[in-house]
Amino acid sequence: MDPLTPCGCCQLRAADKELQTPYTRLGATEVYAHMLRECFGIHVTLSGEGSCGICSVCVGRLRDASDFKLQVQRTQTELQARLKEETPGNGEESALESVTEWGDAGSDCSDEPLR
């Protein structure tokens, strides 16, 4: 990677790694362009020569975000499985349906308190 190529994610530092290249970390393969797409739905624009890089700071932030997304997905799956076991059969809305509706809100989530 050319030391003068800026990070394609922050433009603040030089890119250390290629976005499209597979890297192995702790036995797992990481392709940063795929992680950006899977975690955020961002399709990275490649530079003219067909490659784009990412700095080590952005790699760390991307890993944290990706790990957090996987954690939330696992937790929701476990919660829904537990709630499914406890679902009442009396025709009332089950706790599972409530959680599913809340989980589908997606972009409606914010850090603002409800008033």
pLDDT in tens, the chain (115 residues): 677 889 999 999 999 999 999 999 999 999 999 999 999 999 887 666 656 899 999 999 999 999 999 999 999 999 999 998 887 664 555 555 555 555 554 555 556 555 5
Q: What share of the chain is helix, strand, coil (3-state, %, to 5)?
A: 45, 10, 45
Residues contacting 55, CB < 8 A, separation 6+? 7, 9, 10, 12, 13, 14, 15, 16
pTM above 0.85, yes or no: no
